[in-house]
Amino acid sequence: MSFIHPLALLGLAAAAIPALLHLLQRRIPPQLDFPPVRYLSAAERESARRLKLRHLLLLILRTALIVVIVLAAARPLVPLRGGGAHQPTAAVIILDNSPSSGAIVDGGLVLDRLRVAARSSLARTTSADRVWLMLCDGVLRGGTREALLVTIDSTHPGWLRLDLVRAVERASRMVNAQPLVGREVHVVSDGQRTALASSRATVPSGVRVLALAPERGAPNRGIAAVTVSEGAAVIELSGSMLDNGGTPQPVPVTIRIGAGRNRGEIAARGLATPGREGTEGATRAAVTVSLPAQSLAPGWWIGEAALEPDELRADDRRPFAWRVAPPAKVMAAPSAGSFVAAALEVLQAGRHIIDGRDVVIGGGDVPTSPHAIVQPPDDPALVGQANRALASRGVPWRWGQLATPGVLSSTDLTVLNGVPVVRRYRIEGAGGGDQGADAVVATVNSEPWLVRSGRVVVLGSRLDTAWTALPATPGFVPFIDALVNRIVIGEAEVASAEGAPRVEFRTRGTDTIGATVFGPDARESDLTPASTALVTAALGGKDRTSVLSPDRFAAEGFSGTRRADASGILLVLALLLAAAELGVATRTR
């Protein structure tokens, strides 16, 4: 039970008034002569028990009367299972309009079903509530009920994946911070298993999580990723293979290359054969489709991989981008070291590079070639001279003191991650120079280890096993390949991001230095619904989370705080108590 005016409960202290008056009235009464005291004594003896009962009854009635009146003034709210207004509540409605909500299940759009549930939740709110709406972008939208209803009605399947666990955590923290009596999070989602698998949400006590029970899923296949390498496109498939447990059928994949008018021309086809669900990795499949690379002119190209349409159209197409370029002309200075020379030989054999002086890898000296990759000198005495050479080429970096060993870390060159470095120079910014935002390619102990400035790449360690274990790792040759073909000319790796399928190129000046391919998260393709137990466990546990069918979801919203004002009943009770008190007080006189 809670109260609208809890301060009025201070008046409960007045309940002590009857008892206090009873005690205060125990003063010395006036004394009067009265001859027939013997009659009085006899009458009192006969009435003693009745009078004691009457006094006790009157004390109880008067105390109860005050208590009831004070409670009525505080306007208590009692829980109701049925109708009735609920207490002011802070609520977040999470409408999961992630790409999977665009699936067609049982002939209807999943999002349409979710909209109905979200509207039913929102319709129960009152002006005293504070309500936010969270969509798949994770943004908490406040506003009036009408405004939020408009938002719900205008919502379409989005392109961003919604991690329900994190969304519920954010929402519960938000409502828990509100100074309102009720705190609820309504999760209106298709309940994808993949949306809940990340972890377990930490929900503060007092926050109620109501989740719409997942309904049955649908078989679906989507393109998880497309990468181009060695003149072929590697197409990864993902999805839920709910095909009645039979043998998965091969999936035709179509590759289209080109943009503008050329887009839509089928460049290649292939068949991907998914594995059976239930075996590890079975839901992922890949097919390699050769591209007509010979006919493509150098430059950036975009393409699109497509599947046959199914229940979820959002993941049936995925664009991809790659750069067609001639092999770099590379040579290594004698001081570059034997490991570099060996790697270049491998790359030359694989026609990744050809012999030339466009890119020179130096070992302590700074080459004057158009593009230079510079290692620190082996002799510390030569560091100053090397720094002056860097400065003369306008490189705003310099080698500093020997720094502590560490482990390599890079977002652009993932092959470097985790490789130990035992000896390195700290790469420091030269005073007054502009290092640029994307100049640092790799770090050790959060300090620059591989930096690029213009056409010069500076390494913090020599590419030798006495300095770093990198030359002994399988990623060394790919690292050198990326270094000479991409990093040194300022080109970034093709990145992927969530969003509507498209390709965005990154440019520096007039040069295109990279591309970002947007598409839905591959996990959205798996339409397998989570079990009720998983939803309950992932979204806060049994104590805080209720997974409800659509009918119950509509009824249970705000029921935790649904209250009726009991002051009317209490006033009636007060009247009855007053009448009883009057009756007892007058009848026995």
Partner 1 sequence: MAQRLDLLDPAEVARLGGIEIVAEGVVEGFLAGLHRSPFRGFSVEFTEHRAYQAGDELKYLDWRILGRSDRLFVKQFEEETNLRSMILVDASRSMAWQGTPERLTKRAYADRLAAALALILLRQRDATGLVTFDEQVRQLIPARVKTGQWTRIVRGLLDTPDGQGTAAHAALQRLTALLARRGMVVLISDLLFDRELALAALRYLRHRGHQVVVFHLMDPAEVELSGPPEVRFKDPESAVSVVVRPRELARAYADTVRREIAAWRKACRRHGIAYHHIQTDMPFGLALRLLT
For the stretch 18-41, what's the b/e string if a residue is b when 16 or more beta carbons lie within 10 angstroms of its beta carbon?
Answer: beeeeeeeeeeeeeeeeeeeeeee
As a whole number of angstroms, the distance between CA 211 and CA 47 comes to: 66
Site size for partner 1, by CB under 8 A?
Answer: 24
Does 107 engage in binding with partner 1 (CB under 8 A)?
no
Sign of CA dihedral 493, 498, 501, 506: negative
Minimum Å gap between C-beta 34 and partner 1 is: 4
Sign of CA dihedral 5, 11, 13, 15: negative
Identify which of residues 37 and 128 has a Cβ nearer to partner 1 in the complex.
37
Identify which of residues 53 and 500 has a Cβ nearer to partner 1 in the complex.
53
CA dist list (Å): 214 to 96, 110, 174: 12, 11, 25
Minimum Å gap between C-beta 63 and partner 1 is: 19
Identify which of residues 47 and 262 has a Cβ nearer to partner 1 in the complex.
47
Minimum Å gap between C-beta 47 and partner 1 is: 4
Q: Are 175 and 184 in contact (CB under 8 A)?
A: yes
Identify which of residues 48 and 572 has a Cβ nearer to partner 1 in the complex.
48
Minimum Å gap between C-beta 587 and partner 1 is: 10
Q: What are phi and psi of 425, to 5 degrees?
A: -100, 140
Minimum Å gap between C-beta 560 and partner 1 is: 51
Site string for partner 1, 53-92 (x = CB under 8 A): -x--------------------------------------
Restricted to residues 504-533, the positions that interact with partner 1 (CB under 8 A) are: none
Q: Are 468 and 420 in contact (CB under 8 A)?
A: yes
Minimum Å gap between C-beta 581 and partner 1 is: 15
Among residues 298, 303, 213, 233, the alpha carbon closest in space to that of 262 is found at 303
**What tokens does 300 get?**
């950036």
| SS3 of residue 429 by DSSP | strand
Identify which of residues 7 and 28 has a Cβ nearer to partner 1 in the complex.
28
Identify which of residues 44 and 355 has a Cβ nearer to partner 1 in the complex.
44
Minimum Å gap between C-beta 28 and partner 1 is: 8
Among residues 407, 454, 405, 458, the alpha carbon closest in space to that of 428 is found at 458
Minimum Å gap between C-beta 40 and partner 1 is: 5
Site string for partner 1, 534-553 (x = CB under 8 A): --------------------
Identify which of residues 33 and 146 has a Cβ nearer to partner 1 in the complex.
33
Minimum Å gap between C-beta 52 and partner 1 is: 11
Minimum Å gap between C-beta 54 and partner 1 is: 7
Identify which of residues 43 and 402 has a Cβ nearer to partner 1 in the complex.
43
Minimum Å gap between C-beta 33 and partner 1 is: 5
Strands of the sheet containing 208-212, edge to edge, are 140-142, 130-134, 89-95, 182-188, 208-212, 545-548
Minimum Å gap between C-beta 32 and partner 1 is: 6
Restricted to residues 550-569, the positions that interact with partner 1 (CB under 8 A) are: none
Among 49, 261, 351, 589, binds partner 1 (CB under 8 A): 589
As a whole number of angstroms, the distance between CA 419 and CA 18 comes to: 83
Identify which of residues 33 and 434 has a Cβ nearer to partner 1 in the complex.
33
The alpha helices in 89-163, defined as continuous H runs, are 110-123, 145-153
Site string for partner 1, 138-157 (x = CB under 8 A): --------------------
Identify which of residues 32 and 381 has a Cβ nearer to partner 1 in the complex.
32
Q: Are 452 and 460 in contact (CB under 8 A)?
A: no
Among residues 447, 557, 577, the alpha carbon closest in space to that of 129 is found at 557
Q: What are phi and psi of 71, to 5 degrees?
A: -60, -40
Please report, to the nearest 10 degrees, the dihedral formed by the alpha carbons of residues 226, 227, 233, 235 taken in order.
-30
As a whole number of angstroms, the distance between CA 515 and CA 303 comes to: 13
Q: What are phi and psi of 292, to 5 degrees?
A: -75, 70
Identify which of residues 25 and 279 has a Cβ nearer to partner 1 in the complex.
25
Minimum Å gap between C-beta 84 and partner 1 is: 46
Identify which of residues 14 and 58 has a Cβ nearer to partner 1 in the complex.
58
Minimum Å gap between C-beta 44 and partner 1 is: 6
Identify which of residues 328 and 584 has a Cβ nearer to partner 1 in the complex.
584
Q: Are 192 and 521 in contact (CB under 8 A)?
A: no
Entry field: residues in the chain: 589
Site string for partner 1, 21-60 (x = CB under 8 A): ----x--xxxxxxxxxxxxxxxxx-xx---x--x------
| SS3 of residue 448 by DSSP | strand
Site string for partner 1, 171-200 (x = CB under 8 A): ------------------------------
Among residues 403, 401, 375, the alpha carbon closest in space to that of 389 is found at 375
Residues 6+ apart with CB under 8 A from 219: 239, 240, 241, 242, 243, 310, 311, 527
Identify which of residues 36 and 298 has a Cβ nearer to partner 1 in the complex.
36
Binding site for partner 1 (CB under 8 A): 25, 28-44, 46-47, 51, 54, 588-589
